[in-house]
Amino acid sequence: MKIHPELQTIRDYIRYAVSRFSEAGLYYGHGTENAWDEAVALVLHSLHLVHDVNPAVLDARLTKAECEVLSTLIEKRVTDRIPVPYLTHEAHFAGHSFYVDERVIIPRSSFAELIENHFEPWVDPENVHSILDLCTGSGCIAIACALAFPDAIVDASDISKDALAVAKKNILRHQVDDQVTLHQSDLFKSLPAKKYDLIVSNPPYVSLDEMEALPKEYLHEPSLALASGKEGLDCTVKILKKAAEYLTPNGVLIVEVGNSEEALAEKYPNIPFTWLEFQHSEGGVFVLTQDQLKQI
């Protein structure tokens, strides 16, 4: 990897990365929204520095080995369009850090805001004793729920063995292995007969047309975790048909469907979906009670 001798400090490499990213017209959406934030995330993490590092450190000179690492990673981001979290193996969700690689999608769900608010007013936190996370992927939602509800038992399922291996790594990282149990299951199929106070899911919901138009960055993510049929509703429809059986009488189902919101509302015009509003994300998340689900 070619090293530019004129680049000597941390600040130099951040500036250089911003220029390269902007010139290449990269797509952002895996934890950052612009070239500057992307460059800062990549450079600081690669040097094992925190994001709020003392600005004086930015003028520290780098070693040859550090320059080689940064040059390689910047080039991979530009040439191969690999998202930064896959390069650093770190993603942030709901105030926590998670290990990620290309076996799982990169956490970016609207659920973070809901978890931080303990899902109020849709549930009474004191009455949440059991939680199910369908399509858990990296385990970020299940683990964040466990940390937010320390007295609750959390089951997390995914159809992918590879994803569950990553989730296990994160469960051990956050020391919630006594609280979170993993299940390999195609949605509800292999789960034990059990009732939950809260079922959450960020399932695959990308439509066929959207899959064909995805930026190159998203092609590094497992398509199994993204694609969900022509309208992006295949997984969600299956969840809607079975969820009532797994909820307690006062339980609720909360599902993220992203841009498939309109298609879902059209498919079930008589179902009273409550679509949630968010301060820091776009939404596409609905809530249904057990009674409402029984209408399906």
3-state SS, residue 22: helix
Residues 53 and 124 in one domain: no
pLDDT class of 1 with cuts at 50, 70, 90: low
Q: Residue 66 above 90 pLDDT? A: yes
Q: pLDDT class for 162, splitting at 50, 70, 90?
A: very high
Rounded to an integer, what distance in angstroms lies between the CA atom of residue 102 and that of residue 162? 9
Least Cα distance to 115 among 245, 222, 254 occurs for: 254
CA pair distance 263, 194, nearest whole angstrom: 30
Q: Which domain holds residue 79?
A: 10-88
Say whether both 282 and 142 belong to one domain.
yes
- Shared domain for 138 and 246, answered yes or no, is yes
pLDDT bin (cut points 50, 70, 90) of residue 86 is very high
Number of domains within the chain: 2
For the segment 75-96, the average pLDDT, to the nearest whole number, is 95
Would you put residue 187 in left (φ > 0), alpha (ψ -120 to 50) or beta? left
**246 and 192 part of one domain:** yes
Same domain flag for 152 and 114: yes
d(CA 209, CA 195): 36
- Strand order of the β-sheet with 285-289 is 180-184, 153-158, 130-134, 196-201, 247-256, 285-289, 274-275
- 81 and 116 in one domain? no
Mean pLDDT of 190-201: 95
200 located within any domain: yes
- Are residues 137 and 77 part of one domain? no
Instruction: Look up the CATH number of the domain holding residue 125.
Output: 3.40.50.150
The mean pLDDT value for 267-283 works out to 86
* Residue 50 in this model has a pLDDT that exceeds 90: no
48 Cβ partners below 8 Å, 6+ apart?
A: none
40 and 140 together in one domain: no
The span from the first CA to the last CA of the chain, in angstroms, equals 58
Query: Do 73 and 118 sit in the same domain of this protein?
Result: no
Query: Is the residue at 181 inside a domain?
Result: yes
- How far apart are the C-alpha atoms of 73 and 88, rounded to whole Å? 9
Burial class (CB in 10 A: 0-12, 13-18, 19+), 202: buried
CB atoms within 10 A of CB 189: 12
Is 64 among the domain residues? yes
Q: To the nearest whole number, what is the mean pLDDT of the chain?
A: 93
- Of 33, 58, 88, the one marking the end of a domain is 88
In this model, does residue 47 exceed pLDDT 70?
yes
Is 102 within the bounds of a domain?
no
> Does the structure show a pLDDT above 90 at 245?
yes
Predicted local confidence at residue 45, as pLDDT: 94
Question: In this structure, is residue 99 part of a structural domain?
Answer: no
pLDDT at 2: 65
- Average confidence (pLDDT) over 9-16: 95
Residue 93 in any domain: the answer is: no
- For 79-98, what is the mean pLDDT? 95
- The pLDDT confidence band at residue 280, using thresholds 50, 70 and 90, is confident
Residues in CB range of 54: below 8 A, 6 or more apart: none
What is the reported pLDDT for 211? 92
55 and 135 together in one domain: no
Q: Does some domain include residue 60?
A: yes
Mean per-residue pLDDT for 203-227?
93
Helix, strand, coil in percent for the chain, rounding step 5: 40, 15, 40
Average pLDDT over residues 231-258: 95
C-alpha distances in Å from residue 120, one per residue of 128, 252, 276: 11, 12, 11
Residue 272 has pLDDT above 70, yes or no: yes
**Residue 5: per-residue pLDDT:** 76
- The identity of residue 267, as a single letter, is K
Token pair for 18: 């911003």
CATH of residue 47's domain is 1.10.8
> Does 121 sit behind a cis peptide bond, omega within 30 degrees of 0 on the bond before it?
yes
pLDDT tens-place string over residues 125-161: 999 999 999 999 999 999 999 999 999 999 999 999 9
